[in-house]
Structure 1
Amino acid sequence: MKLATLHDLYVEELKDLYSAEGQLLKALPKMAKAASTPELTSAFTNHLEETKGQVVRLEAIFKKLDVSPRGKTCRAMEGLLAEAKETMAESADPSVMDAALIASAQRVEHYEMAGYGCVRTFARLLGYDEAADALQATLDEEGAADKHLTTLAETTINVEAVDPVANE
């Protein structure tokens, strides 16, 4: 596709995010299963449900634009999730694995926040205020998920991973 206008870029970026969310829908259950603490499992499971809602929001935006969301693969998300998969295949102490899962998940969240921040701004500039509000809602959810992961990391999971043998 030729990116002749900001609208063209907006649609391409939305397609990228749609692909990213679709990939994440498949990865989050695996991450939840790999987590050893109930809190982290719950964080991944809850974010899975939020992600389903985010996909619905994107589909509504595409419908208003009369554009198909399909046709683009988010290579960045592929890479982030491939790294997470490699990490989950490692032999690690459960607390260290949980710390690694949080690191992987936060990389994903930061990628999504960057993408949603851009498309939200594009939507505002293009006069798509309803879409901008929906994209802001998703951006807020991604930020909250990131903050929750940070709290888990700083208060329990990473603390336990410092010396897993002492915590047994």
Structure 2
Amino acid sequence: MQINTFKDMYLAELSELFDAERRMAEALGRMAGRAGHDSLKQALLRHRDETEAQRDRVRAILDRHGYEPDIHQDQAMASLIDEAEKMMVLLQQGPLLDAALIASAQKIEHYEIAAYGTAAAYAEALGLTDDQAELHVILDEEKATDQRLSMVAKSVVNQEAVNRAA
């Protein structure tokens, strides 16, 4: 689809976010299935549920604008998920894999934080206050997930991975 206006660019960004959330929801289930530490497994499953809700909220925004959500694919998210999948193949289940899963999930979170921040800024520039408010809610959820993953890494997983390798 041709992008000719700032609003077209905004809607294309949302379409990519819809695709990113769809892909991420699927990947989080696989990641949780490989996680060894219960707190990591629970954090990933919780984020999967949040991700599904975020996907639905992005779709609702796109629907309000009459924009087809499946027009664009998010290659960056596909690559980040491929990287996570590679780690799940290369590493045995245990603390080292858990640390790698957290790192992969946080790379994805940081990407989503940047993408939602951009989309919210576009919505603001366009005067789409309802969209902007919804996107800021999702942005806050992404930041909270990143913090939860950091807590799991710092409180347990990273030290277990270090101790296992020693």
The TM-score, its normalising length taken from structure 1, stands at 0.95
**Deviation digits for residues 105-157 of structure 1 (CA, Å, limit 9, x no counterpart):** 00000010100000001001101101111100000000000000011111110
Match of 1:87 in 2: 87
Q: Following superposition, which runs of at least 4 residues in structure 1 exceed 2 angstroms of deviation? A: 1-4
State the Cα distance separating 1:4 from its structure 2 match.
2.3
Mapped to 2, the partners of 1:51 and 1:36 lie a distance apart of 21
Name the structure 2 match of 1:147.
147
- Counterpart amino acid of 2:27? A
Structure 2: state its 5+ residue gaps: none
Indicate conservation of the 8 Å contact 1:93/1:164, yes or no.
no
Pairs within 5 Å for 1:131-142? 131-142=131-142
After superposition, residues 39-78 of structure 1 pair within 5 angstroms as 39-78=39-78
Aligned partners of 1:71 and 1:4: how far apart in 2?
A: 15
Query: RMSD in angstroms over aligned alpha carbons?
Result: 1.2
- The alignment partner of 2:92 has SS state of coil
Counterpart of 1:102?
102
Q: Is the contact made by 2:99 and 2:158 (CA closer than 8 Å) also made in structure 1? A: yes
SS at match of 2:117: helix
The alignment-based identity, stated in percent, is 38
Q: Calculate the TM-score normalised by the size of structure 2.
A: 0.96
Give the 3-state SS of the residue equivalent to 2:164 in structure 1: coil
Deviates more, 1:62-71 or 1:100-109: 62-71
Structure 1 unpaired stretches of 5+: none
> Which residue in the other structure is 2:18 paired with?
18
Q: Deviations over 1:60-84 (max 9, x none)?
A: 1011101111121110011000110
Q: Which residue is equivalent to 2:5?
A: 5
